Amino acid sequence: MTLPYVINLLYQFADNVAFLLLAALGLMIILGVLDVINLAHGELIMLGAYITTLSYNEMHLPLPVCVLLSVIGVALFGLVLERTVIRRFYRDKLGALVATWGISLILSQGVLILFGPSLVSVPLPQWTVGYGGYAFGGYRLMLFGVAVLVVWLAWWIFYRTRLGVWTRATMQNPEMAQALGISTSRIYMLTFAAGSALAGLTGALYAPTTTIVPLMGTTFVDVAFITVVVGGGTNPIVGALTSSAFLALISTPLSSVLGTFIGRIGLLIASLVIIRFLPRGFSGYLRDAGRRRMGRGLVS
């Protein structure tokens, strides 16, 4: 195994981690705080890609500005969606599933009617680095950097701001948080908007790398749900990091040697194994392990 091949594997690993993190983080935050499974997450990603593509091709704006517009636009759409639909199903998980599934159908078919079956894609920035006969895309490396930055920002908000304290209190015990004066309704609204913004960011960033069609969200949502299930909703940030790293570690060598399809099959098998032995995911297991260590420390 040569050094260039190892670097190529590391590059693919970083690319897979970025894809899984960006696709799943918004979905995992909404699940962890609101306890709502958002089946329209893929369509929110699609909206982000469409806003970026249309603003780039029709308005001729720079790509970073298009990405910013997508984040803001999808966040505002998510805020309105939470106020009008999602808030009615916080105590009805099955109803939330049906409602978000219906929203996903409306969005995908509405975009198909309005804009047709496809759009001209945003050109992929041609930043490449060559080494040992391999070409490494600079844009893909940038996506990994953005994913790390987004996770750090989410961690900082959760653990270093007052809003994060209120959000974690709402996650742990919403009734007690409300009794202490925290507006849980506002926390839910802001959380859903933030998860939607992350979906918009994902669609915007990956718009230059994929075909822009109304059903493109399915490319992201299947691996996003696998990542969420493996990570668990106990701690969205820890769950997203651990599950994306683990799943990328499984899929990268399989995809490199046997192809992308076998890599996806490996993800499914790995997720089934994790669910069997860790039904609450990595974040639930790590929290329980921490509590056990604390208990043993108190006893001793």
Specify which residues 137 forms β-bridges with: 128
Tokens 């690319």 — which residue? 15
Q: What is the pLDDT of residues 79-105, one digit of tens each?
A: 999 999 999 998 888 899 999 999 999
Domains of the chain by residue range: 3-214
pTM score of the predicted model = 0.93
8 A C-beta contact, residue 41 and residue 199: yes
Spatial distance between the Cα atoms of 271 and 227, rounded to a whole number of angstroms: 8
Instruction: Choose among 192, 203, 219, 196: nearest CA to 66.
Output: 203
Q: Which residues contact 238 (CB under 8 A, 6 or more apart)?
A: 231, 282, 283, 286
Q: What is the pLDDT of residues 45-66, one digit of tens each?
A: 999 999 999 999 999 999 999 9
- Rounded mean pLDDT of 216-232? 89
Tell me the two tokens of residue 163: 């809003």
Q: Which H or E run contains 134?
A: strand 134-137
Asked which of 160-164, 225-229, 231-235 is least confident by mean pLDDT, the reply is 231-235
pLDDT higher than 90, residue 133: no
Q: Which residues contact 12 (CB under 8 A, 6 or more apart)?
A: 252, 255, 256
pLDDT value for 299: 55
209: which DSSP letter?
A: G
